Amino acid sequence: MKVLVIGAGNMGLTYAEGMAQSSLLNRRNLMIFDKSAEVITTLSKIDHFDVFDNIEDCLPQADVVFIAVKPYHCDDLFKEIKGMVNDQQIFVSLMAGVTIGKIQEGLGVKKVVRSMPNLPAQVGKGVTSYTEAKEVSRVELLMVRNLLDTTGASIHVESENFIDASTGISGSGPAYVFYFMNSMLEAALKMGFSKNDSKVLVSQTFEGAVKLFNESDLSAKTWMERVASKGGTTRAALDSMEDNNVEELIKDAAYAAFNRAVELGKEEA
């Protein structure tokens, strides 16, 4: 199997590196293409994959093609490569808001997988949701899943609506976590901790809580109750959050991202 990644930006390079470090592909079977001469020069110094500055030299050989350009560049890309693709190739899109139908129509192909990655893929802790056109077989989908899993975990979803929904949870989600972290960091600084100590207190608290959650069957709500005792300090904090309706505000924020993803999809169509 030969894999080509089109677009060597943040996401394209992250996936290429993930696949390169896995045992799924050997170096000769991983290709990357970008239109920027500057990017090509930088990439040529990395020995993990074959780097191409001419699409005609790599696209025809590829069995699986990852599309990792910005959504607003997809029309130009489709025009550029339409005459070089074939209907046995599988196209895996990482582009937010670009529908399977649009990719099929733009390229004149059928086998398309649409995915939504997130930023922690850069450290092998990403989560990618994905769904496929009906022309993608189970075996092909499994192969794609294995490739996506090289950057962390993945979940299969039944429809593109869930791709937009996962944008509101995991795609944009790292920013919600950073928002919460930033608020706690500012509170720690205000209480008089140094910048460094604040960072240790906050990041270790997040990491520890996630580890506890992952290593047990307890719900997040049960863990909250375990930390909080009646009349105690944590209860005071949780009561303050409840009084200010923080839970509803966070849910609203996730829905705002979900709705925006749906809107962007319509604009792109």
How far is it, in rounded angstroms, from Cα 262 to Cα 269? Answer: 11
The distance of closest approach from Cβ of residue 81 to ligand NAP in the complex, given in angstroms and rounded to an integer, is: 8
Task: Identify whether the C-beta of residue 126 lies closer than 8 Å to the C-beta of residue 107.
Answer: no
Which helix or strand (DSSP H or E) is residue 68 part of? none
Among 20, 30, 112, 117, binds ligand NAP (CB under 6 A): 117
Among 19, 31, 65, 94, binds ligand NAP (CB under 6 A): 94
Among 73, 110, 145, 156, binds ligand NAP (CB under 6 A): 73
**Residue with smaller CB distance to ligand NAP, 69 or 188:** 69
Q: Give the tokens for residue 42.
A: 């930088």
**Residue with smaller CB distance to ligand NAP, 35 or 110:** 35
Q: Is 202 in the site for ligand NAP (CB under 6 A)?
A: no
Contact range with ligand NAP by CB under 6 A, out of 31-39, 203-211, 224-232, 259-267: 31-39
In the numeric block, the tokens 């962390």 are attached to 152
- In the region spanning residues 126 to 185, those forming contacts with ligand NAP, defined by CB under 6 A, are 171
Among 30, 32, 65, 71, binds ligand NAP (CB under 6 A): 71
Among 30, 31, 100, 119, binds ligand NAP (CB under 6 A): 119
Q: What are the φ/ψ torsions at residue 112 (nearest 5 degrees)?
A: -130, 135
Number of chain positions touching ligand NAP (CB under 6 A): 27
Edge-to-edge order in the sheet of strand 3-6 = 50-52, 30-33, 3-6, 64-67, 90-93, 112-116, 126-132, 152-156
**Angle at 51 (CA atoms; ends 107, 79), nearest 5 degrees:** 20
SS3 label, residue 191: coil
**Residue with smaller CB distance to ligand NAP, 54 or 219:** 54
CB contact set of 70 (below 8 Å; sequence gap of 6+)? 7, 9, 95
What are the residues binding ligand NAP (CB under 6 A)?
6-12, 33-36, 39, 68-71, 73, 76-77, 80, 94-96, 117-119, 171
